[in-house]
Amino acid sequence: MGILLQNITKRYAVSVVDDLSLEINDGEFVVLLGPSGCGKTTTLRMIAGLEQPSSGEILIDGQRVNDLPPQKRDVAMVFQSYALYPHMTVAENIAYPLRVRKLAPTEIQTQVNQTAAMLEIESLLSRRPRELSGGERQRVALARAIVRHPKAFLMDEPLSNLDAKLRLQMRGELKRLQRQLGTTTVYVTHDQAEAMTLGHRVAVMNKGQLQQFAVPLEIYRRPANRFVAEFVGSPSMNFIDGRIDPEMRCFTADGLRLPLDIGTTQSGASNADQQPGRLRSSFEEITLGLRPENIEVSNAQQTGMIPGTVYVTELMGSETFVFLDLASQRLIARAASDFRAEPGATVWVRLDLRESHFFDQVTGDRLSLPPSITTPQPN
Partner 1 sequence: MEKLNPYLRPHPDPLPRGEGVRTSDKSLALALIAPTLTVLLALSIYPLIYSIKISFQSQSGAPTLQNFTRLITDQFFFSALAHTFIYAAIALTVEFLIGLALAVLLNEQMRGRSAFRSLLLVPMMLPAVVVGVVWRLMLNSNFGAVNGTLKGWGVNPEALTWTASPKLAMASVIIADVWQWTPFMFLILLAGLQAIPQEPYEAALVDGSSAWQTFRHVTLPLLKPAILIALLLRSMDLLRVFDHIFIITEGGPGFATETLSLYIYRTAFRFSNFGYAAAMSFVLLLITNLISVGYIRLLQTREAT
Partner 2 sequence: MRPGGFAKYFILTVASLAALAPVYWLITISFKHEVDQFAVPPKWFSFSPTLEHYADAFLARSFGQYLLNSLVVAVASTICALIIGSLAAYSLARFRLPRNLDRHLALWILSTRMFPAIVTAVPLFLIMRDLRLVNTRLSLVIVYTGFNLPFVVWMMRGFFAEVPRDLEEAALVDGDSRMGALRRVVLPLVAPGLAATAVFCLIVSWNEFLFALVLTQTDTAMTLPVGIAGRVTQYGIKWGAMSAAAVVAMIPILAFAMAVQKYLVRGLSLGAVKG
87 interface partner picked from partner 1, partner 2, none, CB below 5 to 8 A per type: partner 2
Count CB neighbours of 41 within 10 A.
Answer: 20
Distances (CA, A) of 52 to 57, 164, 169, 259, 297: 10, 34, 35, 52, 52
Asked if 172 touches partner 2 (CB under 8 A), the answer is no
Residue closer to partner 2 by CB (options 87, 278) is: 87
What lies within 8 Å, CB to CB, of 379 at 6+ separation is: none
Q: Tell me which of partner 2, partner 1, none is bound by residue 41, counting a contact when its beta carbon lies within the kind-specific cut-off of 5 to 8 angstroms.
A: partner 1
Task: Give yes or no for residue 68 binding partner 2 (CB under 8 A).
Answer: no
Q: Is the peptide bond before 235 cis (omega within 30 degrees of 0)?
A: yes
CA–CA gap between residue 315 and residue 322 (Å, rounded): 9
| Three-state secondary structure of 35-53 | CCCCCHHHHHHHHHCCCCC
Among 10, 40, 144, 171, binds partner 2 (CB under 8 A): 144
CB of 134 to partner 1, least distance (A): 4
Report the residue from 96, 227, 358, 359 that binds partner 2 according to the rule CB under 8 A. Answer: 96
Residue 153 contacts partner 2 per CB under 8 A? no
283 binds partner 2 (CB under 8 A): no
Residues 3-22 that bind partner 1 (CB under 8 A): 10, 12, 16
CB of 224 to partner 2, least distance (A): 32
H-assigned helices in 147-270: 164-181, 192-198, 216-221, 226-231
The answer to the question of residue 299 lying near partner 1 (CB under 8 A) is: no
- Among partner 2, partner 1, none, partner that 96 touches (CB below 5 to 8 angstroms by kind): partner 2
Contact 379, 262 (CB under 8 A): no
Using alpha carbons, select from 143, 146, 200 the residue that is nearest to residue 175. 200
User: 66-93: string of b/e by CB count within 10 Å (b at 16+)?
Assistant: eeeeeeebebbbbebebebeeeebbbbb
For partner 1, the closer of residues 35 and 376 by Cβ is: 35
Q: Is 77 in the site for partner 2 (CB under 8 A)?
A: yes
Q: Quote the least distance from Cβ 73 to partner 2, whole Å.
A: 8
> Among partner 2, partner 1, none, what binds residue 12 when CB lies within 5 to 8 Å by partner kind?
partner 1
Q: Write down the H helix ranges in the chain.
A: 40-48, 90-100, 105-118, 134-146, 164-181, 192-198, 216-221, 226-231, 371-374
The number of CA neighbours under 13 Å toward the Cβ of 171 is 21
Sheet architecture: strand order including 357-360: 256-259, 250-253, 238-245, 286-290, 357-360, 366-367
| Residue with smaller CB distance to partner 2, 96 or 187 | 96
Choose the stretch contacting partner 1; rule: CB under 8 A; options: 96-104, 144-152, 156-164, 340-348.
156-164
Maximum Cα–Cα distance for the chain, whole Å? Answer: 81
Asked whether the beta carbons of 45 and 36 are under 8 A apart, the reply is no
**Contact status: 345 vs partner 2 (CB under 8 A):** no
Q: Which is nearer to partner 1, 12 or 303 (CB)?
A: 12
Binding partner 2 (rule: CB under 8 A), the pick from 9, 27, 56, 70 is 70
Q: Which does 114 bind (CB under 5 to 8 A by kind): partner 1, partner 2, none?
A: none
Closest approach of partner 1 to the CB of residue 129, in Å = 9
Nearer to partner 1, 137 or 226 (CB): 137
Give the residues lining the site for partner 2 (CB under 8 A).
Answer: 48-50, 69-71, 73, 75-77, 79, 81, 83-87, 96-97, 100-101, 144, 148, 154
